[in-house]
């Protein structure tokens, strides 16, 4: 098994491709936000292969087959965000990016932590292409506080109303908040009151299928075996929600799967992109590096999401539909 930690960022860029870890897991990283761009799957993670993207910057990776991944370069660095040190905290980290395109522009939303000694914040940067470079908007979009952690941003543009919604929050506060964004995508038009769904911890994601809105999210401690993906459904992107249960949980080999994205392939198949711990040594809290994996999503006739079976090696799905 190839281990990315031996590959430097410069080497990855020079080689031009990232060799797969025998298909599943795909590569080292966490919090993967995935989407299709011109027939390729793009993944925007926290970190990346071999530590090639540390917590002071974001990178992206793309693949046409889910076997070989192409580094798409540096999106934005911490030192390019002018407001990041305004809170006076001694250190800052970039986590959990989420990307969306609208009106010919690309928008990257990201968490700035930690939560203590000052509240976490969410920023947004703009680019002309998915691979950037991204230019920060000049101010934080959301600031945490009063028990709310401003983390894990995800933006969904509702095809019915053409409104863009920002979902964020979780961890210690375990509170979900939703805002409607301004048309320029870098401001808040209003907050939409929503109920935090059952078993919500963090990492909200929204997708829609056959008129049903699926709000999925992570539950549990990120470095423990209880980390898992649950979901609720509604008739609008802001609920009200009906809790449906867990769909992705630990098994004998893989622990703590979560912080995921749903992606519809060009062939109409649905996939879930998430991170997991591969046979972690010792009990929780797990240490080491999380790995990005991709697996198939199946729906029952009544629209329920069936439990996801985690795969290894060549049993992983491909964009060709296998």
| DSSP-derived secondary structure for 215-233 | EEEEES-TTSTT-EEEEEE
Q: How many CB atoms lie under 10 A from the CB of residue 90?
A: 7
Q: How confident is the model at residue 14 (pLDDT cuts 50, 70, 90)?
A: very low
CA distance 168 to 119: 14
Query: Model confidence at 225, in pLDDT bands (50, 70, 90)?
Result: very high
Q: What CATH number did the domain enclosing 197 receive?
A: 2.115.10.20
End-to-end, the C-alpha distance of the chain in Å comes to 23
Q: Which of 75, 74, 63, 52 is nearest to 20 (CA)?
A: 63
pTM of the model: 0.93
**Residue at 205 is within a domain:** yes
- The answer to whether residue 195 sits within a structural domain is yes
Which pLDDT does position 89 carry in this prediction? 94
Kindly state the percentage of the chain with pLDDT values over 90: 85
Task: Look at residue 209 and tell me if it is in a domain.
Answer: yes
Arithmetic mean of pLDDT, 185-203: 97
Give the tokens for residue 141: 């979009």
- Number of domains composing the chain: 1
Ramachandran angles phi, psi of 233, nearest 5°: -125, 160
Q: Is residue 54 part of a domain?
A: yes
Give the confidence band of 23 by pLDDT, cuts at 50, 70, 90.
confident
Q: How confident is the model at residue 171 (pLDDT cuts 50, 70, 90)?
A: confident
Q: How far apart are CA 177 and CA 47, in angstroms?
A: 25
Residue 174 located in a structural domain: yes
The SS3 of residue 10 is: helix
Classify residue 320: in a domain, yes or no: no
Q: What is the dihedral of CA 252, 255, 260, 263, to 10 degrees?
A: -20
For residue 239, give the DSSP letter: -
Averaged over 300-308, what is the pLDDT? 98
Torsion 230-233-237-238 (CA) sign: negative
- Domain residues for the domain of 265 are 4-315
Instruction: Tell me the pLDDT of the chain averaged across its residues.
Output: 91
In a domain, 157, yes or no: yes
Say yes or no to pLDDT of 194 above 70.
Answer: yes
Spell out a b/e string for 228-256, using b for 16 or more CB atoms within 10 Å of the CB, else e: bbbbbbbeebbbebeebeebbbbeeebbb
Q: Which of 285, 311, 320, 220 is nearest to 22 (CA)?
A: 311
Domain-located, residue 11 = yes
Percent of the chain with pLDDT over 70: 91
Quickly state the pLDDT bin for 48 (edges 50, 70, 90). Answer: confident
Q: How far apart (Å, rounded) are the C-alpha atoms in residues 322 and 310?
A: 15
């Amino acid at each position: 098994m190839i281990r990315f930690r031996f590959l430097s960022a410069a080497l990855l860029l020079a080689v031009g491709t990232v060799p797969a870890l025998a298909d599943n897991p795909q590569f080292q990283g966490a919090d993967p936000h995935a989407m299709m761009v011109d027939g390729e799957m793009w993944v925007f993670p926290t970190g990346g292969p071999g530590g090639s993207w540390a917590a002071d910057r974001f990178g992206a990776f793309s693949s046409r087959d889910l076997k070989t991944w192409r580094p798409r370069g540096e999106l934005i660095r911490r030192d390019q965000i002018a407001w990041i040190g305004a809170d006076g905290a001694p250190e800052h980290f970039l986590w959990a990016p989420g990307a969306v395109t609208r009106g010919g522009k690309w928008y990257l939303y990201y968490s700035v932590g930690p939560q203590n000694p000052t509240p976490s914040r969410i920023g947004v940067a703009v680019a002309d292409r998915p691979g950037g470079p991204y230019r920060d908007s000049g101010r934080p979009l959301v600031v945490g506080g009063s028990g709310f952690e401003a983390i894990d941003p995800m933006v969904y543009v509702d095809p019915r109303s053409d409104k863009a919604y920002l979902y964020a929050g979780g961890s210690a506060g375990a509170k979900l908040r939703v805002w409607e964004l301004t048309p320029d995508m870098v401001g808040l038009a209003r907050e939409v009151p929503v109920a935090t769904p059952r078993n919500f911890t963090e990492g909200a994601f929204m997708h829609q299928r056959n008129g049903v809105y699926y709000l999925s999210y992570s539950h549990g401690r990120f470095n423990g075996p209880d980390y898992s993906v649950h979901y609720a459904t509604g008739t609008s992107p802001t609920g009200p929600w009906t809790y449906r249960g867990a769909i992705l949980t630990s098994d004998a080999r893989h622990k703590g799967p979560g912080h995921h994205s749903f992606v519809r392939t060009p062939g109409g198949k649905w996939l879930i992109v998430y991170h997991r711990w591969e046979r972690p040594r010792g009990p929780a809290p797990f240490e080491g590096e999380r790995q990005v994996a991709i697996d198939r999503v199946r729906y029952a006739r009544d629209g329920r999401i069936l439990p996801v079976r985690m795969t290894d090696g060549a049993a992983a799905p491909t964009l060709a539909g296998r």
